[in-house]
Structure 1
Amino acid sequence: MSAATTDTAIAAPKSAPRERFSATPYLLNLPALLVIGTLLLVPLIMTLILSLHSFGMYTGVTDDISFKNYAEIIQDSYFHEIFLRTFRISLLTTLLCALIGAPEAYILHRMRAPWRSIFLLVMLGPLLISVVARTLGWAMLLGSTGVINQTLTGLGILSAPVQFMYTETGVIIALAHVLMPFMVISVWAALQRLDPQVENAAISLGASPFTVVRRVILPQIMPGILSGSIIVFALAASAFATPAIIGGRRLKVAATLAYDEFLSTLNWPLGAAIAVLLLVGNIIIIVGCNRLVERRYAQVFQ
């Protein structure tokens, strides 16, 4: 064999070994896929199918397939008002949680042990209590004869009790308290990546505390705020117990309306259509916000 042939054989790249198909990852994920498919996808598909049926006062749920329920929701201004109220309450609740939760998470992050652990437990402790119990507590606080109105009228600050119950304001306050821990947790996770030396460097270069917060801290924790906002908005839009107790029957949202259609009027197809539209609206908003979060993460951590 000549030297040129030998050099060519040595220089020739070896073909990469072909990867063998392994079924292990699929088998490991199979139990989770079965659980998700059984407990989540199957009920959603059944709800979607149910929403395509019709309902009669004397015939009940019929076997025909149509988009009659969706057409009724789209054409009736009553349903428009309820869906707009639902998303308005969810948006205002999200803004309130962001305005209070983000500074609170930053303050907790700057605390030293053991106070940081104590106040973090105080903040996350309400998650261990039932949502119904917390909402009933707010009902006793916000009522016309509740603690807040009695205190303010007793001090002479108010001449008459302020109406919080059965109003959007009362629902937003109660929902913000219920969902605040989710915002704090999201911002807290983002703060773990924040280097305190960056703040010290900005201060040493002459930046004011407000400038440090606006130009250094806020851009880095913004992905956490956006992630927490997605969680809070989704939970607020689908909340049932808090709007039902604080809002009562006067102030309906999509979740309480679907409940009434299922159990009061027994119009299951219409209730299912309301639930499907609420889910679709949530998905559209969440996917759009998730794109914004991904772009923000790419800008901050690139």
Structure 2
Amino acid sequence: MTDKTLRAAGTPWLLSLPALALFLGLLVVPLALTAILSFNVFDGMRGVQPDYTLGSYIEILSDGYYHELFLRTGAMSLGVTLICIIVGVPETLILAKMRPAWQGTFFVVILGPLLISVVVRTLGWSILLGRQGMVNSTLLSLGLIDRPTQLMFTMTGVIIVLTHVLMPFMIIAVWTAMQKLDGQVAHAARSLGAGPGTTFRRIILPQLMPGILSGAIIVFTLAASAFATPAIIGGRRVKVVTTAIYDEFLSSLNWPLGAAIAMLLLLGIVFVVIGSNRFVERRFKQVFA
């Protein structure tokens, strides 16, 4: 192999070095340090010790309190993901049928909130969901409820706000997949006698599945790792894994236990995402084969 060939082969690696260094420095190294910290011994009087143990993981895996935290976080993330799919997919389909001028307007409305800090949006929702907020006032004026409903400091309020915060990610993912749709295939199916429901189920939906899966993975991951919204809307009454990590690091100062919870949350998210992705892909291959 000549020097010119060697240089040509090594050029892509040289060009990727800055991105690789950034990836290692901002993601891999912090995660590795957090993983190491999770094995450190913690002493209530002396703090983090240089010795190593599995005590933090044993405490988490053997305590029903942490089991409940992880189950609550998983249920919250799954609920937000399902609502985003149920609302986001039809919304994207409707958006695709609009005229270009209206599409631009509605895209600004849908994606505009992403330009605002999630903390600011959550604080705005805390005003809307209060007992004297606009949501309760509207429900009372319509006669749907007799007295103000408790939405703040409840899981219902957290799911509502997280759904609003994460809905744009689902719409973007489905919209991207929709741009690859071949409209002639759907027209051909209709001309051959397929009804609208059959055409959507057998032709359109399989082509949208990559976008739906991508959006679901993004929404689930962001919901499970969200902190600001559960902390502000849920408060101390609705505790999830991220708020527990915050408490261990800044209240109890038990950094190894907080790091262990964080690592288990990361492993749980990776396991759920990979497992669900493979299951859904296998299932839809069987259904639409």
TM-score range, shorter chain: over 0.9
Larger mean CA deviation between 110-119 and 269-278 belongs to 110-119
Q: Does residue 65 of the first structure (1) align with residue 61 of the second (2)?
A: no
Check conservation: 1:222, 1:296, Cα contact below 8 A.
Answer: no
**Aligned-pair distance for 1:296?**
8.2
Check conservation: 1:54, 1:269, Cα contact below 8 A.
Answer: yes
Q: Superposition RMSD on alpha carbons, in Å?
A: 2.4
* Corresponding residue of 2:95: 108
Check conservation: 1:142, 1:149, Cα contact below 8 A.
Answer: yes
Q: Does residue 140 of the first structure (1) align with residue 127 of the second (2)?
A: yes
**Aligned-pair distance for 1:145?**
1.5
Q: Amino acid of the residue matched to residue 162 of structure 1? A: T
**Aligned-pair distance for 1:95?**
0.3
From 206, 213, 223, the equivalent of 2:200 is 213
2:266 and 2:199 mapped to 1: Cα distance? 40
Q: Does residue 285 of the first structure (1) align with residue 272 of the second (2)?
A: yes
1:143 and 1:207 mapped to 2: Cα distance? 49
1:116 and 1:155 mapped to 2: Cα distance? 31
2:146 and 2:280 mapped to 1: Cα distance? 46
* Corresponding residue of 2:27: 40
- Note the alpha carbon deviations across 1:112-166, whole angstroms, 9 max, x for none: 2111111112111111011011111211111211111122223332111111111
* Corresponding residue of 2:146: 159
Three-state SS of the structure 2 residue aligned to 1:62 is: strand
**Aligned-pair distance for 1:210?**
2.3
Three-state SS of the structure 2 residue aligned to 1:23 is: helix
From 137, 140, 164, the equivalent of 1:150 is 137
Q: Amino acid of the residue matched to residue 254 of structure 1? A: V
Check conservation: 1:187, 1:224, Cα contact below 8 A.
Answer: yes
Three-state SS of the structure 2 residue aligned to 1:114 is: helix
* Corresponding residue of 2:160: 173
Q: Amino acid of the residue matched to residue 70 of structure 1? A: Y
* Corresponding residue of 2:259: 272
Three-state SS of the structure 2 residue aligned to 1:61 is: strand
**Aligned-pair distance for 1:54?**
1.8
1:287 and 1:157 mapped to 2: Cα distance? 42
2:167 and 2:99 mapped to 1: Cα distance? 22
Number of equivalences: 286
- Identity within the alignment, %: 60
2:221 and 2:275 mapped to 1: Cα distance? 13
Q: Amino acid of the residue matched to residue 124 of structure 2? A: G
**Aligned-pair distance for 1:203?**
2.5
Check conservation: 1:124, 1:181, Cα contact below 8 A.
Answer: yes
Three-state SS of the structure 2 residue aligned to 1:161 is: coil
Q: Does residue 254 of the first structure (1) align with residue 241 of the second (2)?
A: yes
1:23 and 1:216 mapped to 2: Cα distance? 44
Q: Runs of 5+ in structure 1 lacking a partner?
A: 1-16
What does 1:70-89 align with in structure 2 at a 5 Å threshold? 70-89=57-76
1:286 and 1:175 mapped to 2: Cα distance? 19
Using structure 1 for the length normalisation, give the TM-score: 0.89
Check conservation: 1:227, 1:290, Cα contact below 8 A.
Answer: no
Check conservation: 1:240, 1:256, Cα contact below 8 A.
Answer: yes
* Corresponding residue of 2:227: 240
2:181 and 2:83 mapped to 1: Cα distance? 24
1:94 and 1:265 mapped to 2: Cα distance? 32
Q: Runs of 5+ in structure 2 lacking a partner?
A: none
- Note the alpha carbon deviations across 1:63-100, whole angstroms, 9 max, x for none: 11001000000000000000100011000100000001
Check conservation: 1:149, 1:161, Cα contact below 8 A.
Answer: yes
Q: Amino acid of the residue matched to residue 72 of structure 1? A: E
2:200 and 2:69 mapped to 1: Cα distance? 38
Q: Does residue 125 of the first structure (1) align with residue 112 of the second (2)?
A: yes
1:205 and 1:279 mapped to 2: Cα distance? 48
* Corresponding residue of 1:189: 176
**Aligned-pair distance for 1:222?**
1.2
